[in-house]
Amino acid sequence: MKSIEEIRDMLGRLGKLKLGFYPTPFHRLDRISEEYGVELYVKREDFSGMTLFGGNKIRKLEYLLHDAIRQGCDTVVTYGATQSNHAMETATAARKCGLNPVLFLAAIVEPNAADIRANLLLDTILGAEINIIPANGQSTKQTMEESQDLIQGRIKELEAQGHKIYNIPTGGSLPLGACGFADAYVETMEQAAAMGLKPDYLFTATGSTGTLSGLCAGKALLGNDTKLVGIEVGPKPASYPEEVIALANEALRLMGADETVTADLFTVTDQYYGAGYEVPSPDANDDIRYLARTEGIFADPVYSGKSFHGMMEYIRNGRVPKGSTVIFLHTGGATALFSESGIVGDLSCRK
Ligand SMILES: Cc1ncc(COP(=O)(O)O)c(C=O)c1O
């Protein structure tokens, strides 16, 4: 167990850039709290900056791009779906640091070349090198695994031109990136304590694990008993909890901590992504409307809408008891509201 000062010291020794605007806001959701008899707060990682389209990747990128610059790299390669927030945020952060962004994007939902939207449009405005790979019904991970010849071929070409590459896997979920969310956990608990709160639950979307792993690392370091719940945003293998634990522990070792993350520190659920990743869920879309219409806050159909919906179901069905203090970690991603209709679903219908 470490004090906040000790944790900040350990994180500080890793070195990071200043890309986002921290601390991100933390505030009560008054109308939902009253309606459901809980104390519901939101941690606004959607306001992380450094653009209007911030989200949960900037904290990871502060550490990762610091490392890229330290290693003398001039080009950042990363991966995601064509509407990946991570890819777009990596491109913005790379541009700010004077690095070249190179993106490999799996077309889970086929973009329309005549009507480029949302994150893919932002990638284009940023002038990132965009390599679109057909997904043929596979996940981003599978698509990238099967396209290694193409990817490695392009990387070799760039290297032959004299570029030094910093390679960031999907979602920025490297141990160093996950440290950003140990930081976020401490920041959130500090804000809660300053308001006299003892949070019972913290809910987040979880995909490539970095966010949840980092939060788990932060929880292990602080030694508090807030229940961490990860709402999965797509199908995951049975080994997923072990992957979360492994990354969290690698992050802790990087920080030089002797604490350990174990399975009892968090739970994950696969109940709320509906039919798949980037497949709209009518139930989650109802809750996107509900959040907008009660609190004036936008969530997206791929990540934060599904995690908000999952959390609301926990509250509605009593798995979160009345009177609990609950934090919703809003991980951002609202650009997806302006993406292809195959991702947005029925959100544009009057309802
Ligand atoms: C908006 C948003 N929320 C949540 C996540 C999930 O975070 P992680 O990949 O760290 O599990 C992502 C990842 O891309 C995201 O873009």
Residue-wise pLDDT tens digits, 87-115: 999 999 999 999 999 999 999 999 999 99
Which atom, in ligand 1's list, is nearest to the CA of 303?
3
pLDDT over 90 (residue 257): yes
**207 pocket-lining for ligand 1 (C-beta < 6 Å):** yes
Domain coverage including residue 220: 4-55+174-348
Confidence of residue 348 (pLDDT cuts 50, 70, 90): confident
Q: CB count, 10 Å around CB of 194?
A: 9
Quote the CA–CA distance of 175 and 68 in Å, as a whole number: 14
Confidence of residue 239 (pLDDT cuts 50, 70, 90): very high
- Look up residue 231 and give its DSSP letter: E
**24 pocket-lining for ligand 1 (C-beta < 6 Å):** no
**199 pocket-lining for ligand 1 (C-beta < 6 Å):** no
Q: Is residue 92 located within the same domain as residue 67? A: yes
Could you tell me the two tokens for 331? 């991980």
E runs forming strands in 129-179: 129-134, 165-168
**173 pocket-lining for ligand 1 (C-beta < 6 Å):** yes
pLDDT over 90 (residue 76): yes
The residue out of 172, 199, 219 marking a domain boundary is 172
Count of domains in the chain? 2
Alpha carbon dihedral 164, 79, 311, 50, in 10-degree steps, equals 50
The residue out of 146, 172, 198 marking a domain boundary is 172
The residue out of 115, 138, 172 marking a domain boundary is 172
Indicate the pairing of strand 26-28 with strand 39-44.
antiparallel
How far is CA 292 from each of CA 28, 31, 85, 327, 334, rounded to the nearest angstrom?
A: 15, 11, 21, 17, 12
Q: Is residue 45 located within the same domain as residue 67? A: no
What percent of the chain shows pLDDT beyond 90? 98
Quote the CA–CA distance of 190 and 182 in Å, as a whole number: 12
42, 51, 303: residue to mutate for ligand 1 pocket, most atoms within 8 A of CB:
303
What is the C-alpha R_g of the chain? Answer: 19
Q: Is residue 33 located within the same domain as residue 70? A: no
Confidence of residue 7 (pLDDT cuts 50, 70, 90): very high
How far is CA 139 from each of CA 38, 106, 112, 146, 278, rounded to the nearest angstrom?
A: 37, 8, 19, 11, 10
Q: Is 84 a catalytic residue?
A: yes
Tell me, rounded to whole angstroms, the distance of Cα 26 from its chain centroid: 17
Q: Is residue 165 located within the same domain as residue 283? A: no
pLDDT over 90 (residue 54): no
Residue with token string 């956990």: 185
Q: Is residue 307 located within the same domain as residue 180? A: yes
Could you tell me the two tokens for 119? 């994150």
Report pLDDT for 351: 84
Q: Is residue 163 located within the same domain as residue 94? A: yes
Q: Is residue 154 located within the same domain as residue 220? A: no
Q: Is residue 254 located within the same domain as residue 303? A: yes
**147 pocket-lining for ligand 1 (C-beta < 6 Å):** no
Report angle CA 281, 286, 292 to the nearest 5 degrees: 125
Distance 171 CA to ligand 1 centre (A): 7
Report pLDDT for 350: 82
Quote the CA–CA distance of 110 and 131 in Å, as a whole number: 13
